[in-house]
Amino acid sequence: MHRTRPLVLVAIALLADPTGKRWGYELSKASGVRSGVMYPLLRRLLTEGWLTDGWEDEADTGGNRPPRRYYELTDLGRRELGGLLQAARNDQRFRSLNPRWAM
Amino acid sequence: MTELIETVGDATLPAFLTALLVFGFAPGFVLRLLVLLYPKSDSRRPELHAELYRMPRVERPMWVAEQIETALFEGIAERRRAARDREAVLRRLVGYRIVVRERRTSYWLLGFALLGIMEAVWLVFNLPDFGPFTGYAVSSFADWGVSFLAIGMVFAYLNHRRRIRDAKADLLSGRLSTAEGREKWMR
């Protein structure tokens, strides 16, 4: 997958909690990528098999709102995004993201 | 400079208030309309709707406005992909291109009808300039002719839509593989 700034930002946000369930809106907030770019990107990650998705339990919603769709990293996704971040660290284009590497 | 600011201010205030009204008071409704751009079975429809109710109210209007971009680019692309997939399945099912042929014909007819309507509108606004009487006579004659043609095209388009539905029904019921079905559609 082509290494772009939004992809790197999303990878950083996803790998901050590699085993957790993540929501689209929350990921958008954490990564700083606007939702118009985020959702197509999530679709591509799903197609590549780097993410899996599922729906929140009805019991967790309290019955007063619709269940949300969550995303989880697969083993392949953890490996690939980890590799992508390693490569991005040495890439001049992503130098400005340096403070985020520590996260 | 002050005049410029006032002009811009006057022009944008109603637009701003309309946007505030639409996105601020009815973000759920606007979002429901936007997600219609996605195919019916796409999980993005319920996903966006569910996300809306988990974010702070103050962020909802801007977030919904952002979804216009998402829905336009992702939704329409997905819709086209879904249409291509359906078409591929139909082709595999029947082995020939009845539905595709019918659909293309209907798009052509609709295109001609729209052109006809645009032509009629153009004639109404332009031809009277040629002269008080000739212009009026020519424009009303041409206007009637083109309008008649456009209405005919719309009817032809609707008829083709019906034929597409019939062809699909025949496909699914298996009538198309009978000799009678072939006679009906392959002529």
- Cα A98 from chain centre: 18
Paired tokens of A54 = 């599922």
Above 60 in pLDDT, residue B24?
yes
Check pLDDT > 80 for residue B8.
no
Name the token pair of B130. Answer: 């040629």
| Tokens representing residue B57 in the block | 């109210």
CB contact under 8 A, B51 and A65: no
Question: B114 falls in which pLDDT band (50, 70, 90)?
Answer: confident
pLDDT at A49 over 60: yes
Geometric angle at alpha carbon A44, from A40 and A49, rounded to 5°:
145
Over residues B142-166, mean pLDDT? 73
Q: What is the mean pLDDT of residues B102-123?
A: 73
Residue pointed to by tokens 């197609």? A47
Burial code of B161-176, b = ≥16 C-beta within 10 A, e = fewer? eebbeebbebbeeeeb
- The nearest CA of chain B is from the CA of A39 a distance in Å of 7
- Neighbouring residues of B41: CB distance < 8 A, sequence distance ≥ 6: B82
From B176's Cα to the closest Cα of chain A, the distance in A is 36
Reported as a pLDDT band with limits 50, 70 and 90, residue B99 is low
In the predicted model, is pLDDT for residue A21 greater than 60? yes
Q: Tell me what pLDDT residue A61 has.
A: 75
Greater confidence (A100 vs B85) lies with B85
pTM confidence score: 0.61
Inter-chain contact B47–A35, Cβ cutoff 8 Å?
Answer: no
* Residue with more model confidence, B11 or B142: B142
- Do A24 and A71 touch, CB atoms closer than 8 A? yes
**What pLDDT shows up at residue B1?**
46
Task: Report yes or no: B15 at the A interface, CB cutoff 8 Å.
Answer: no
Q: Which residues pair with A70 in a beta bridge?
A: A23, A54
**Residues recorded for chain B:** 187
Residue B107 reports pLDDT greater than 50: yes
Is A97:A12 a contact under the CB 8 Å cutoff? yes
Separation between Cα atoms, residue A70 and residue A83, nearest integer Å:
23
pLDDT at B15 over 80: no
Inform me whether the pLDDT recorded for A102 exceeds 50: no
- ipTM score for this prediction: 0.84
Mean pLDDT value across residues A65-94: 89
pLDDT given at position A27: 92
Tell me if chain A has a CB within 8 Å of the CB of B70.
yes
Q: Which residue from A39, A53, A65 is facing B50, i.e. has the nearest CB? A: A65
pLDDT 10s digits, B122-151: 766 666 555 555 556 666 666 677 777 777
Token duo for residue A91: 């890439």
pLDDT for B104 beyond 80? no
| Whole-number Cα distances in Å, B170 to A77, B90, B159, B173, B179 | 45, 12, 16, 5, 12
Band (A80; pLDDT cuts 50, 70, 90): very high
> Mean of the per-residue pLDDT values for chain A?
86
